[in-house]
């Protein structure tokens, strides 16, 4: 994980880029989020920011939710929500208790990390929709994002709610997939009881995925088709991993 100051710096940079791209044609389609327009994307990010700000402010999940659409439009909601989120972060220490959906980490720091990573993925969505060049993702943030999606989104979800993953887990046989992103390594093992992830494990898997930190991150999030990656071993294991990721990130 990165330190809180680094997350907040990257959050500010990616929020600024997202807002700039979001000021383009609001009716533009978002190719990486089928069915969404750029206005939908901007509104979604604003709603996410507001939800986390309200959760920290209240110490509980906000109800009722979601709020009514902002009468001044998605960009206005995004601006208002980002200001509220930053105010809550500024008023608290990263280690301070905060309600989250991730049982192992009930701190403000979880939301600092989560919002930085939420923002970088949706910033890329916005740049793709606006037709502007995609700004590279910093290697440290990309590697951290890979670790988050594997350990928080995938391993935690599949072990906590294993019965919701159907055949994707029921047919898993424990053979691992090795993931290499630059110098970083993970070994991902799916069993009927859930997914286990070991970071730093350099053992070979029955299948492998390798690429730059950015390309691996975007592939895991379904933002790239894998053309920039190198695959090896049993293709069926890679496909199972993709299906489980899709289920765990919806």
The pLDDT, as a whole number, for residue 201 is: 85
Beta bridge partners of 185: 180
Tell me, rounded to whole angstroms, the distance of Cα 235 from its chain centroid.
24
The pLDDT, as a whole number, for residue 53 is: 98
Residue 168 has pLDDT above 90, yes or no: no
Residue 61 has pLDDT above 80, yes or no: yes
pLDDT in tens, 129-167: 999 999 999 999 999 999 999 999 999 999 999 988 888
pLDDT in tens, 207-235: 999 999 999 999 999 999 999 999 999 99
More confident: 167 or 37: 37
The pLDDT, as a whole number, for residue 122 is: 98
158-248 CATH choice from 3.30.1050.10, 3.90.600.10, 3.30.465.10, 3.40.50.620: 3.30.1050.10
Six-digit token pair at 41? 């994307």
Residue 250 has pLDDT above 80, yes or no: no
d(CA 240, CA 227): 18
């190198």: which residue's tokens?
A: 230
Six-digit token pair at 78? 């995004």
Topology, domain 4-130: 1.20.120
The pLDDT, as a whole number, for residue 160 is: 96
Give residue limits of the domains in the chain: 4-130, 158-248
Six-digit token pair at 239? 């496909």
pTM: 0.96
Tell me what the pLDDT averaged over the chain comes to: 96
Give percent of the chain with pLDDT exceeding 90.
Answer: 95
In 27-73, which residue ranges form alpha helices assigned H by DSSP?
38-58
The pLDDT, as a whole number, for residue 167 is: 83
Six-digit token pair at 220? 């895991």
């Amino acid at each position: 994980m990165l330190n809180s100051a680094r997350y907040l710096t990257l959050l500010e940079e990616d929020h600024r880029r997202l807002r700039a791209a979001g000021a383009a044609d609001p009716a533009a389609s978002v190719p990486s989020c089928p069915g969404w327009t750029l206005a939908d994307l901007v509104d979604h990010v604003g709603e996410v920011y507001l939800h986390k700000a309200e959760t920290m402010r209240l110490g509980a999940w906000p109800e009722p939710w979601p709020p009514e659409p902002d009468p001044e439009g998605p960009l206005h909601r995004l601006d208002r929500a980002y200001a509220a989120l930053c105010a809550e972060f500024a008023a608290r220490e990263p280690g301070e208790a905060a309600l989250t959906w991730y049982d192992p980490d009930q701190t403000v720091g979880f939301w600092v990390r989560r919002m930085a990573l939420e923002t970088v993925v949706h910033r890329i969505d916005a740049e793709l929709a606006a037709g502007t060049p995609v700004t590279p993702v910093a290697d440290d943030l990309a590697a951290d994002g890979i670790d988050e999606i594997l350990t928080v989104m995938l391993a935690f979800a599949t072990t906590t709610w294993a019965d919701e993953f159907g055949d994707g887990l029921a047919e898993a046989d424990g053979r691992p997939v090795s993931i290499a992103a630059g110098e970083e390594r993970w070994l991902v093992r799916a069993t009927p009881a859930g997914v286990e992830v070991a970071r730093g494990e350099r053992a070979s898997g029955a299948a492998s995925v390798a690429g730059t930190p950015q390309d691996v991150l975007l592939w895991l999030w379904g933002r790239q088709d894998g053309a920039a990656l190198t695959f090896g071993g049993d293709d069926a294991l890679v496909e199972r991993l993709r299906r489980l990721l899709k289920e765990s990130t919806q």
